[in-house]
């Protein structure tokens, strides 16, 4: 039996499209600033941020792909490019011959340490300086609720 589509109301459509435009424009602007100022792509930055947030700066390849919501092939190709630039290395997993770890290098740490202040300044000037503390709390609550729901569903 065919389910009926729950079309968006004008208010829902306005909010959704505004959110999508915000995400696209903010992401694009941040990516261009990062690339021009630090020679790191947004994808490089995301990988390095995740690796600096985990113990020993190493994470299983598949777990990193899952955390970034990337497909296996995208992760493999991107990690290969980053390894070629000395930002990360790939280490085989002794317990699992098919698995591997992605490990941040000293060069990767230096790159993220140089890029982070630029990124923070851009986040402030492009976004945080334009929202109130109450709006920021609401955004955090909404984001956490939606992420919790997404994490509970199979991907």
Question: Can you give the pLDDT at residue 3?
Answer: 78
User: How many CB atoms neighbour CB 7 within 10 A?
Assistant: 7
Euclidean distance between CA atoms 24 and 124, whole angstroms:
17
Q: Model pTM greater than 0.85?
A: yes
Residue with more model confidence, 154 or 150? 150
Mean pLDDT in the chain? 93
For the cut 60, the answer to whether the pLDDT of residue 1 exceeds it is: no
- Structural domains in the chain? 29-152 (1.10.10.10)
- The answer to whether the CB of 11 falls within 8 A of the CB of 81 is no
In tens, the pLDDT along 93-139 reads: 777 666 799 999 999 999 999 999 999 999 999 999 999 999 999 99
Question: Can you give the pLDDT at residue 97?
Answer: 64
Question: Can you give the pLDDT at residue 155?
Answer: 66
For the cut 80, the answer to whether the pLDDT of residue 44 exceeds it is: yes
Contacts of 119 (CB under 8 A, 6+ apart): 30, 33, 34, 45
């Amino acid at each position: 039996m065919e389910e009926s589509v729950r079309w968006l109301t004008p208010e829902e459509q306005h909010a959704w499209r505004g959110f999508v435009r915000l995400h696209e424009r903010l992401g694009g602007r941040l990516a261009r600033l990062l690339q021009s100022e630090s020679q790191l792509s947004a994808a490089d930055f995301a990988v390095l941020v995740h690796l600096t947030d985990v113990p020993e700066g190493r994470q299983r390849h598949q777990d990193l792909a899952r955390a970034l919501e990337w497909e296996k092939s995208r992760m493999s190709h991107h990690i290969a490019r980053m390894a070629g630039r000395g930002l990360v290395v790939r280490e085989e997993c002794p317990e699992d011959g098919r698995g591997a770890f992605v490990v941040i290098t000293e060069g990767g740490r230096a790159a993220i340490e140089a890029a982070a202040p630029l990124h923070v300044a851009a986040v402030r000037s492009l976004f945080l300086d334009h929202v109130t503390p109450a709006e920021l709390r609401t955004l955090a609550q909404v984001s956490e609720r939606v992420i919790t729901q997404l994490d509970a569903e199979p991907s």
